[in-house]
Amino acid sequence: MSREELVAMTRSLVEHGAADTMEYADEIVRVPAATYTDTDLFERERRNIFRRLPLMVAPSCELPEPGDYKAMDICGVPLLLTRQRDGSVGAFLNMCTHRGNPVVNGTGNASRFTCGYHGWTFKNNGDLVGVASPRDFGAVDKAALCLKRFPVYENAGLIWSTLDQDSKLSIAEYLCGYDELLKAFGFDGWTLFSQRTLPGPNWKTAYDGYLDFYHLPVLHKDTFGADFFNRANYFFWGPHQRLSSPSKFVQKTGSDEQIDLTQMSDEELPADALTQGVWTIFPHISIASFYGGGQRGALISQLFPGETVGESYTTQYYVMENQPETEEQVKSAHEQFDFLEVVVRDEDYATGKRQHEALQSGQMKEVLFGKNERGGQVFHEWAAKLTHASDEELLEIFSGKQREAAE
């Protein structure tokens, strides 16, 4: 992790905050309204974004122990994540190599999985270890019939996988060094307090909301308050963006006290100051710090397109530095997490649903992203670019060379 890079960002935010300025995009950007409603484009996004790019599939603390597993369905692809005996994570196509039945559903802990259809058994490292009634079935090469593997990568307490068995795209390269900065949260040693899944509008409509602060004091006036800041500066690592409010203050952990960062040396800057704001991981993750239950926590929101262009679903993970201990702390952590459900479900996604229905009318040709909404501008630019890129272009975009050139 580069603390220097985090400090430099904080200093830039403090300077802008002290001067009451913010960084603007060059111009107001117009995005075709059909971007949100076109069903052909939506299918292409499911295929070329969600089934081709690395996705953050789970925080490490969701699978802390050897044997822990989670089965998921992402855009029609059944994925099985397992924590293997050596501590590494395995990502597999959750389809029995006999006739394709998922070998397990949901979450749990197991060292092996027995398929519920005819009883073939696989170890949690994917090895096929048992064919039911083998003499009757006939001889098979078990080594060739292991569960199919997807690329997987774990860093900064987060797990990524690419739902393409033949992907040549390096997950680390795709992250453009961003994962090293995400280490500043310290998720590696954190625990999962609670999680839930919420239905939402079109995935880009939903994701737009994580990328702008412009709406905060308006849409969230009853929850965050009408005085909440509405400005953000943006920092970029390839398509991944952090947005943070230009301010010389940071709220002291667990209190309302505001710390004046201009009075602190670089060495004194606390973790909260270095990680404040919203950290997004393209194409579908948002991370923000909160405090509840007597200690640092974070909401990790993981968004996936639904079955139709107007639907998405979001899993909210509430992760905490330590599990709350007392009854009061547990209650306070639940209150914090429940508050964030209300904000997202009743304000962001309820608005997104109405917005999407209106856009479906086809009466409006374009939507606007202001100079203060750079996050949305950049997101839509990358979404279009990566949706339409060929496999070769995709590799070129994220090759190490390109990254160096951009730096």
Cα separation, 54 vs 106, in Å, equals 22
Phi, psi (rounded to 5 degrees) for 193: -85, -45
- Which listed residue (3, 47, 112, 118) binds ligand FES by CB under 6 A? 118
CA atoms within 13 A on the CB side of 243: 27
* Residues within window 168-227 making contact with Fe ion, judged by CB under 5 A: 209
Binder among 115, 128, 243, 383 for ligand FES (CB under 6 A): 115
Interface residue with ligand FES among 30, 44, 85, 99 (CB under 6 A) is 99
The DSSP bridge pattern shows strands 107-109 and 54-59 to be: unpaired
Stretch that binds ligand FES, among 8-16, 113-121, 212-220, 268-276 (CB under 6 A): 113-121
Alpha-carbon dihedral of residues 253, 182, 73, 43, nearest 10 degrees? Answer: 110
Q: Among residues 117 and 228, whose Cβ is nearest to ligand FES?
A: 117
Burial of 226 (0-12, 13-18, 19+ CB in 10 A): exposed
Query: Which range touches ligand FES (CB under 6 A), out of 16-24, 111-119, 179-187, 205-213?
Result: 111-119
Of the pair 311, 348, the CB lying nearest Fe ion is at 348
**Backbone φ, ψ for residue 51 (5° rounding):** -105, 10
In the complex, least distance from residue 343 CB atom to Fe ion, rounded to whole angstroms: 7
| Contacting residue, 68, 154, 208, 348, with Fe ion by CB under 5 A | 348
149 binds, among Fe ion, ligand FES, none (CB under 5 to 8 A by kind): none
Report, in Å, the least distance between residue 117 CB and ligand FES.
Answer: 4
State both tokens at 256: 């309302």
Judged by beta carbon, residue 81 or residue 278, the one nearer Fe ion is 278
Q: What span, in angstroms and rounded, lies between the C-alpha atoms of 96 and 114?
A: 9
Other CB atoms closer than 10 Å to residue 281's CB: what's the count?
25
Q: Residue ranges of the alpha helices (H) in 221-326?
A: 271-275
**120 counts as binding ligand FES under rule CB under 6 A:** yes
- Site mask, ligand FES, residues 51-90, x = CB under 6 A? ----------------------------------------
The β-bridge relationship of strands 29-32 and 366-369 is antiparallel
Per-residue DSSP letter, 246: -
Residues that bind ligand FES (CB under 6 A): 96, 98-99, 101, 115, 117-120
Which residues bind to Fe ion, rule: CB under 5 A?
A: 209, 348
